């Protein structure tokens, strides 16, 4: 899906998305617990959530004691995130991960993007991976679908018109081979299953 179409869609569905905020928070609390023995994200100080949407994951990471920045190009998603009293100490910035983010190299310990990658086309994904790698010191985490499809996800993703069907077949090799802006995106990619239909793709940024 093109950038403009994607922003229009998320501006339109932001109020509906917002209804699932508490449900999403519970799911993200569970995810962080599931992966804790292999990747304790809360052992790091600073994190940026790229494509933070309505801020559910940001909120969970804040509760874990992290210093959290959330970026998203869609103002109506951000407005919901910022309207939550518990998110007062989170810095939310309207920005697009494909345009070059307003942060210096290696500004954050960890960068995470949750359910953003599958909505981008391959070339955009690579640009986002490269940009996340640039601003991160330790790990880039891509939280997204694995290749186990459900009927509901299949229908929703078909309607959304993103790159879901291609993404789930190629996610890991695409990250391993990712080359953008004349250099590799990651030096290492590890995959942890975090639920029936989701993985954490844990990537080491290029030094």
Chain residues binding ligand SAM by CB under 6 A are: 6, 10, 24, 50-53, 56-57, 72-74, 77, 96-98, 114-116, 119
The residue of the chain with the least Cβ separation from ligand SAM equals 53
Query: 24 vs 87, which CB is nearer to ligand SAM?
Result: 24
Least distance to ligand SAM, CB of residue 104, Å: 18
164-170's contacts with Cβ under 8 Å and 24+ in sequence apart are 164/118, 164/119, 166/122, 167/117, 167/118, 167/125, 168/118, 170/122
Query: 10 vs 44, which CB is nearer to ligand SAM?
Result: 10
Among residues 41, 201, 39, which one has the least CA distance to residue 129? 201
Query: 56 vs 142, which CB is nearer to ligand SAM?
Result: 56
Handedness of CA 82, 4, 157, 131 (dihedral sign): negative
Least distance to ligand SAM, CB of residue 22, Å: 12
Least distance to ligand SAM, CB of residue 127, Å: 8
Query: 152 vs 207, which CB is nearer to ligand SAM?
Result: 152
Query: 121 vs 192, which CB is nearer to ligand SAM?
Result: 121
Least distance to ligand SAM, CB of residue 50, Å: 5
Least distance to ligand SAM, CB of residue 206, Å: 20
- Quick check: 206 and 179 in contact, CB under 8 A? no
**DSSP 8-state assignment for residue 43:** G
3-state secondary structure of 97: coil
What ranges in 135-192 are assigned the alpha helix state H? 151-160, 164-176
């Amino acid at each position: 899906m093109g950038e403009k179409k994607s922003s229009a869609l998320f501006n339109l569905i932001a109020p509906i998305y917002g209804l699932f905020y508490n449900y999403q928070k519970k799911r993200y609390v569970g995810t962080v617990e599931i992966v804790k023995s292999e990747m304790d994200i809360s052992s790091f100080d600073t994190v940026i959530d790229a494509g933070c949407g309505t801020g559910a994951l940001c909120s969970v990471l804040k509760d874990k004691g992290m210093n959290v920045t959330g970026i998203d190009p869609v103002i109506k998603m951000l407005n919901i995130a910022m309207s939550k009293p518990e998110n007062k100490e989170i810095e939310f910035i309207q920005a697009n991960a494909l345009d070059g983010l307003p942060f210096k190299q290696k500004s954050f310990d960890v960068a995470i993007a949750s359910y953003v990658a599958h909505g981008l086309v391959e070339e955009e994904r690579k640009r986002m991976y490269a940009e996340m790698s640039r601003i991160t010191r330790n790990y880039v985490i891509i939280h997204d679908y694995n290749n186990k499809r459900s009927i509901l996800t299949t229908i929703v993703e078909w309607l959304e018109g993103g790159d879901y069907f291609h993404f789930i077949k190629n996610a890991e090799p695409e990250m391993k081979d990712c080359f953008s802006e004349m250099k590799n995106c990651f030096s290492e990619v590890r995959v942890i299953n975090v639920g029936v239909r989701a993985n954490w793709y844990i990537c080491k940024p290029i030094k």
